[in-house]
């Protein structure tokens, strides 16, 4: 860099699949929101450039001998962006707010391992009874129901981030607005122009500001992936978090090693509205799932950037046995024959069609997946109609448990543990879009949470998947994810990882 350019602002234009529904850490649920909040806020623990867990707002911690009590020492000198200190009381306030039914957080269950959290969310206890306390401004203590191996990794999730009580008391719901949001991360929110960009600038109050190389990050919503590719080629985007996979061969030829593809701990799935006829019939759900040709979706629609899925929990989590649907090993022809037979028994066929609506959020990849499934189900006498809405509207409908038949969703691991996937099928969980409820499943999940050994815990979780997913299809697994990012060679410090986490504070740009 020349001397004259030494003081030039370093700007990173970051393609991010969709606008956030909210920037309130306790009211968000998507990866698109997490990407932004990870820059604005900092939890007790963080994920570094390689997605390894490191101290964040806490600079150290100790764990009791029984594994149930964690004591965090807050980072000395850490400040909010308004200059006030970040204290243990901020986390007490924020975690109580997360589990408070009045907040209506999709992610209230994230704190389920904390003593009394689930009873508070269910309205049986008060938020003040959450087992967290500020021993002093620099010491935060948490008591858990049982030893929880993923607890520290869980604390990197945006739902556990602190919010400023003083700011919320002053502004109410407006506290999330650009120019008003007080945050404790590497960046501060300065602009939010819907469908155009979100601008965050380097936070000079951040404890490690001296090592933050990028001055401005613009998060640009890129629901139209093809347009995003053109903007990248024109230099208007420095990276994008998705690709139109049908163009993959051409994109590889054009962009070479700027395309990053690899394993990503996540599952692409559909969810039936199980509390609505006829989708409350498990035989019907299984027949439709069986008829979907996942190999075709992976190879033709996603150009081998995804893997066919028959379990909700992706393979590769140490110590866990995934439980797949009965037809996972059968040929597609056998599956289709079985599906036709079941549909006929239920009174459906080409002469008496079943009407089904697939809802999906904007993306060429999601549209092409839905169209392929529409064509696959047509010969079985299932007349599929497609409804596309933007991402914010789509997830808003699912989160509010609105009316639908079957809808596209995806789950990316918040931490590397099967519980993170399987919790979605527990009764009353915010992200349980299917409204699935089964006492046998819930009891297995509760038993796993209280298990005496890691081996017993993994066995109980596996048994739960066999019932909730493989047998009942609380979700219809279709594909295991891979990440497919487009990253300019000008961006330095980008580390591929299975969580696909890339905080801007660890990046630089030439």
**What is residue 158's predicted lDDT score, i.e. its pLDDT?**
97
Give the whole-angstrom CA distance, residue 39 versus residue 111. 22
pLDDT at 178 over 50: yes
Contacts of 399 (CB under 8 A, 6+ apart): 29, 106, 430, 431, 433
Interval 473-508: pLDDT, tens? 999 999 999 999 999 999 999 999 999 999 999 999
Per-residue pLDDT averaged across 281-287, rounded?
A: 98
Q: Are 353 and 347 in contact (CB under 8 A)?
A: no
Report the half-sphere exposure of 232 (CA within 13 A, side-chain side).
29
**What is residue 316's predicted lDDT score, i.e. its pLDDT?**
82
Confidence of residue 115 (pLDDT cuts 50, 70, 90): very high
Interval 332-361: pLDDT, tens? 999 999 999 999 999 999 999 999 999 999
Confidence of residue 7 (pLDDT cuts 50, 70, 90): low
- Percent of the chain past pLDDT 70, that is, above it, reads 99
Interval 286-320: pLDDT, tens? 999 999 999 999 999 999 999 999 999 999 888 99
pLDDT at 2 over 50: no
Per-residue pLDDT averaged across 255-274, rounded?
A: 96
Cis peptide before 278 (omega within 30 of 0): yes
Give the whole-angstrom CA distance, residue 311 versus residue 169. 44
**What is residue 248's predicted lDDT score, i.e. its pLDDT?**
94
Question: φ, ψ for residue 260 (rounded to 5)?
Answer: -115, 115
Per-residue pLDDT averaged across 168-179, rounded?
A: 97
Paired tokens of 362: 């904007």
Give the whole-angstrom CA distance, residue 95 versus residue 89. 10
pLDDT at 113 over 50: yes
Per-residue pLDDT averaged across 198-209, rounded?
A: 98
pLDDT at 5 over 70: no
Query: Angle at which helices 282-291 and 332-345 pack, to 10 degrees?
Result: 150
pLDDT at 198 over 90: yes
Per-residue pLDDT averaged across 195-208, rounded?
A: 98
Confidence of residue 1 (pLDDT cuts 50, 70, 90): very low
Q: C-alpha distances in angstroms, 373 versus 57, 176, 289, 330?
A: 46, 39, 10, 19
- Percent of the chain past pLDDT 90, that is, above it, reads 96
**What is residue 3's predicted lDDT score, i.e. its pLDDT?**
36
Of 6-20, 254-268, 333-347, 439-453, the one with minimum mean pLDDT is 6-20
Interval 385-402: pLDDT, tens? 999 999 999 999 999 999
Paired tokens of 406: 């079957």
Per-residue pLDDT averaged across 110-121, rounded?
A: 97
- 477 membership: H or E segment, kind and range: strand 476-487
pLDDT at 285 over 50: yes
pLDDT at 6 over 80: no
pTM: 0.88
In a 3-state reduction of DSSP, which class is residue 62?
strand
Interval 233-245: pLDDT, tens? 999 999 999 999 9
Q: Are 309 and 477 in contact (CB under 8 A)?
A: yes
Give the whole-angstrom CA distance, residue 382 versus residue 76. 62
Concatenate the DSSP letters of all residues of 246-257 into one string: GGHHHHHHHHGG
pLDDT at 471 over 50: yes
Q: Mean pLDDT of all residues in the chain?
A: 96
Characterise 55 by phi-psi region: left (phi > 0), alpha (psi -120 to 50), beta (else): beta
Question: φ, ψ for residue 198 (rounded to 5)?
Answer: -120, 125
């Amino acid at each position: 860099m020349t001397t004259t350019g030494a003081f030039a602002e370093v700007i990173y234009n970051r393609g991010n699949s969709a606008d956030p529904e909210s920037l309130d850490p306790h009211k968000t649920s998507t990866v698109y929101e997490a990407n932004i909040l990870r820059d604005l806020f900092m939890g007790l623990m963080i994920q570094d450039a390689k997605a390894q867990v490191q101290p964040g707002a806490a600079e150290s911690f100790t764990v009791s001998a029984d594994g149930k009590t964690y004591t965090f020492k807050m980072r000395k000198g850490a400040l909010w962006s308004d200059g006030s200190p970040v204290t243990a009381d901020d986390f007490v306030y924020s975690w109580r707010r997360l589990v408070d039914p009045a907040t209506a957080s999709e992610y209230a269950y994230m704190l389920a391992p904390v003593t009394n959290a689930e009873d508070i969310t269910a309205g049986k206890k008060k938020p003040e009874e959450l087992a967290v306390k500020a021993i002093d401004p620099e010491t935060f203590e948490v008591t858990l129901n049982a030893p929880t191996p993923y607890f520290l990794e869980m604390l990197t999730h945006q739902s556990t981030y602190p919010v400023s009580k003083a700011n919320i008391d002053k502004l109410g719901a407006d506290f999330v607005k650009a120019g008003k949001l007080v945050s404790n991360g590497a960046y501060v929110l300065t602009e939010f122009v819907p469908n155009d960009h979100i601008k965050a600038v380097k936070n000079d109050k951040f404890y490690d500001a001296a090592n933050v190389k990028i001055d401005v990050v613009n998060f640009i919503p890129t629901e139209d992936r093809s347009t995003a590719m053109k903007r990248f080629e024109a230099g208007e985007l420095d990276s994008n978090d998705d690709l139109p996979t049908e163009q993959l061969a051409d994109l590889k030829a054009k962009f070479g090693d700027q395309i990053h593809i690899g394993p990503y701990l996540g599952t692409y799935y559909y969810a039936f509205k199980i509390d609505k006829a006829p989708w409350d019939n498990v035989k019907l759900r299984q027949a439709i799932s069986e008829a979907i040709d996942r190999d075709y979706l992976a190879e033709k629609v996603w150009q081998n950037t995804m893997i066919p899925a028959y379990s909700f929990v992706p393979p590769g989590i140490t110590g866990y046995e995934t439980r797949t649907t009965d037809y996972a090993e059968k040929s597609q022809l056998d599956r289709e024959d079985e599906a036709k037979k079941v549909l006929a028994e239920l009174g459906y066929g080409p002469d008496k069609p079943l009407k089904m609506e697939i809802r999906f959020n904007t993306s060429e990849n999601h549209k092409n997946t839905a169209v392929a499934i529409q064509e696959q189900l047509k010969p079985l006498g299932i007349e599929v109609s497609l409804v596309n809405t933007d991402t914010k509207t789509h997830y808003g409908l699912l989160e509010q448990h609105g009316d639908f038949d079957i809808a596209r969703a995806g789950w990316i691991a918040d931490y590397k543990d099967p519980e993170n996937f399987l919790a979605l099928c527990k009764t009353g969980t915010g992200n349980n879009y299917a409204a699935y409820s089964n006492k046998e499943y819930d009891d297995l999940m509760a038993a796993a949470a209280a298990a005496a050994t890691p081996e017993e815990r993994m066995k109980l979780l596996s048994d739960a998947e066999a019932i909730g997913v493989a047998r009942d299809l609380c979700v219809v697994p279709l594909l295991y994810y891979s990440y497919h990012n487009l990253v300019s060679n000008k961006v330095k410090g980008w580390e591929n990882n299975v969580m696909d986490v890339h905080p801007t504070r660890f990046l630089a740009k030439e």
